[in-house]
């Protein structure tokens, strides 16, 4: 296995990039001591965020980095694009809201899977989702 950097950046331009981001996240999460279930939840969150990038913005990037707070270690996923942005972020966080004939569960589901979640979006400028999962103590 290759060395895991403290921060990884994965450009999202197609389906294969989603797999790369998921795999990189698993490596980083393993290095940080996350169990397999948590790794799967993180990978699921990345799939949703990266798929939104492809579908609504066309391209963007996923940043993966380790986080730390008072002894706890975490993994932070940043999904950023310079796409059309979201007109009503609060509405987009509602279960079932979709402008793309989707299930409308990607953003609210990701918020439930992860511990911390922040969505910043501006119409015409793009969207940045920053979300963190903290490692459970064994």
CA distances from 59 to 2, 6, 30, 34, 39 (A): 26, 23, 27, 29, 24
Are the CB atoms for 55 and 100 separated by under 8 Å? yes
Q: Which of 23, 33, 68, 99: binder of ligand ADP (CB under 6 A)? A: 99
- Smallest gap from Cβ 28 to Mg ion, in A, equals 23
> Interface with ligand ADP includes 83 (CB under 6 A)?
yes
- CA-based nearest residue to 48, from 7, 10, 25, 79: 79
> Interface with ligand ADP includes 102 (CB under 6 A)?
yes
> Interface with ligand ADP includes 107 (CB under 6 A)?
yes
Phi first, then psi: give them for residue 118, nearest 5 degrees. -140, 130
Nearest residue (CB) to Mg ion, 32 versus 121: 121
- The entry of Mg ion, ligand ADP, none near residue 99 (CB within 5 to 8 angstroms by kind) is ligand ADP
List residues near Mg ion by CB under 5 A. Answer: 52, 106
């Amino acid at each position: 296995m290759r060395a895991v950097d403290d921060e990884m950046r994965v450009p999202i331009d197609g389906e294969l990039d989603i797999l790369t981001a998921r795999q990189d996240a698993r490596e980083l999460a393993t290095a940080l001591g996350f169990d397999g279930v948590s790794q799967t939840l993180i990978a699921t969150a990345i799939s949703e965020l990266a798929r939104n990038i492809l579908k609504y913005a066309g391209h963007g990037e996923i940043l993966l980095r380790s986080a730390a707070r008072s002894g706890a270690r975490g993994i932070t996923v940043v999904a950023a694009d310079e796409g059309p942005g979201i007109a009503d972020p609060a509405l987009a966080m509602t279960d079932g809201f979709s402008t793309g004939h989707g299930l409308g569960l990607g953003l609210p589901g990701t918020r439930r899977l992860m511990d911390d979640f922040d969505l910043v979006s501006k119409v015409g400028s793009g969207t940045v989702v920053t979300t963190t999962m903290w490692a459970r103590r064994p």
